[in-house]
Amino acid sequence: MHRRLATGLAASALAVITVAATATSATAAPADKPQVLSSWTQTSASSHNAWTAARANQAAWSAYQFDWTTDYCSSSPDNPFGFPFATSCARHDFGYRNYKAAGSFSANKARLDSAFYEDLKRVCNGYGGASKAACNSTAWTYYQAVRAFG
């Protein structure tokens, strides 16, 4: 009797462990999460555009458990002198928050800051003359701030 009870309890325990392990793996992020994160945090316009499209459809990426929260340009203006830097700041926040969560922030910080600067310069490319010069100067200031304090 004790042997049957012990065998039954062991089988039940094994079943519970199997169900728990399956439930845990079902909620885990997909294995390619680091590659997706990397592809969205490069300096290229195509990387920026892919991230922007994903941000607009976050539900499609919910299995990846990305942190999409942002405070935009933190304590700096989101649109300094009318230049719309908010989206660039949001992508920068995305990179910082998700690489910190992955435990690989320091290895990626320089690239994230460079991607931020490239994003800001792409905003500035929409201007001409003195406005473009002022935008580029402001972008450089924002970039230097994140390099030093980000």
| Nearest-angstrom CA–CA distance, 32 and 28 | 11
For 92-114, the pLDDT digits (tens) are: 999 999 999 999 999 999 999 99
Contacts of 135 (CB under 8 A, 6+ apart): 81, 83, 123, 124, 127
For 53-99, the pLDDT digits (tens) are: 999 999 999 999 999 999 999 999 999 999 999 999 999 999 999 99
Into how many domains does the chain fold? Answer: 2
Q: Are residues 17 and 38 in the same domain?
A: no
Give residue 33's identity as a one-letter amino acid code.
K
Q: Report residue 15 as tokens.
A: 């079943």
**pLDDT at residue number 28:** 86
Q: Are residues 52 and 9 in the same domain?
A: no
Q: Are residues 89 and 117 in the same domain?
A: yes
Tokens 């590659």 belong to which residue? 35
- Is 92 an annotated catalytic residue? yes
Contacts of 145 (CB under 8 A, 6+ apart): 76
The parent domain of residue 86 ranges over 31-149
Tell me the pLDDT of the chain averaged across its residues: 88
Q: Report residue 13 as tokens.
A: 């325990």
Q: Are residues 35 and 25 in the same domain?
A: no
Q: Are residues 23 and 36 in the same domain?
A: no
**pLDDT at residue number 48:** 98
Q: Are residues 89 and 121 in the same domain?
A: yes
User: Strand (E) positions, the chain?
Assistant: none
Which of 70, 106, 108 is closest to 89 using CA atoms?
Answer: 70
Helices 45-56 & 86-102 angle (0-180, nearest 10): 90
Q: What percent of the chain has pLDDT over 70?
A: 82
Which residue of the set 42, 83, 92, 142 is catalytic? 92
